[in-house]
Copies of this chain bind each other. A is one copy, B any other.
C-alpha cells in the first residue's frame, strides 16, 4: 500500500492488520520514552487547506514518536495564496524531499488528485464530505479495545447519530464498521441524510429513543450551527430534543455500551449530558488511540518492511 485515501481501498484483512499494528504503537506510546527510530530521516509534511489543530497535532505527534521529521503548511499563509496552482505547490514542496503528505482539503477527491503529482505517499486527513480514513480506523480501534472485540464486530449494533449528509466521518465509519461485521443504523432527521443511500450497508431510523437499549455503540456527530442557517434544521434546540444525548437517554443505554464522538463536541446540542459523567464515554480514548493509529498508518506506508512483523 502506498496511499491511504479511503476506507473503501482497504479489505477487512487490511483493517485488522492495521489495528494489530496499532497494538504495537500503543505499547510504544506507553513507554517512559515513547519514541522509536523507525522513521528516522523520513519527512512527513502536513498540508492543511482547512484548519484542524487536533488532527494535525495528532499526526504530528505520531510522526515524532516514530522519529520522522515533520513540517506544517497552513496553506492560507503559503504561496498558494499568490495564485500558484495546487499542482505547482505540491511539486515544489515534494522536490525538497517529502516522504508523505498528510492532506486535508475542502474538496472531495483532492488527496487522490495529489497522488498524480508526486511520488510521496498521500494520507487523506479529511476531504470534503468524502472520507477521513484515519478517523474510522481510530474509531474501530477504540471499539475493538473498549468492547474486547479483537476478532471483528460481528453482531455489534452501532448507531451513528446526526448530520450524516455532510459528514466524511460517517461515510468512512460506515464502511469500516460494516467491513468488520457490525450492524450500522443511521439516526438523523431526513434533511441531514444523504439524498441517496443506495449501496450503504446501513439501516435508517428517525427514532433514537427506540434504539437506545439495544445499542453497543452510540456514535454522535457534530451538528454545525450552519445547518440551521441553511434551513436544514429548525433549531439546534429542537435537534437536541430529538437526537441529543441527554442524561435520560444515556441512562437507557446498556451498561456496556460505548459513547463516542469525533470532536470537537457541541455541548448542549448533540452532547447534552456531561461526557465526563458517562461511564461508557470513550471520547478521550478516541483521541489517545488516534495518535497510535496514525503511527501505524505512517509505519505501514513509510516503514521499510512490507512485512509488519518488523514493526518496532
Contacts and interface: CB of A to CB of B under 8 A. Distances in A.
A83 interface: yes
A251 interface: no
A74 interface: yes
Nearest to A82: B264
B53 A60 contact: no
A259 B54 CA distance: 42
B33 A40 contact: yes
How many copies the complex holds: the figure is: 3
A242 interface: no
A43 B61 contact: yes
A85 interface: yes
Nearest to A263: B92
B33 A288 contact: no
A71 interface: yes
A77 interface: yes
A79 B53 contact: yes
Nearest to A45: B57
A79 B96 contact: no
Interface of A: 29, 31-35, 40-41, 43, 51-54, 57-58, 60-61, 64, 69, 71, 73-74, 77-79, 82-85, 88-89, 91-93, 95-97, 225, 263-267, 284-285, 287-288, 290-291
Would you list the 8 A-B pairs with minimal beta carbon distance, nearest first? Answer: A33-B41, A95-B287, A53-B78, A84-B264, A95-B284, A95-B288, A79-B264, A35-B41
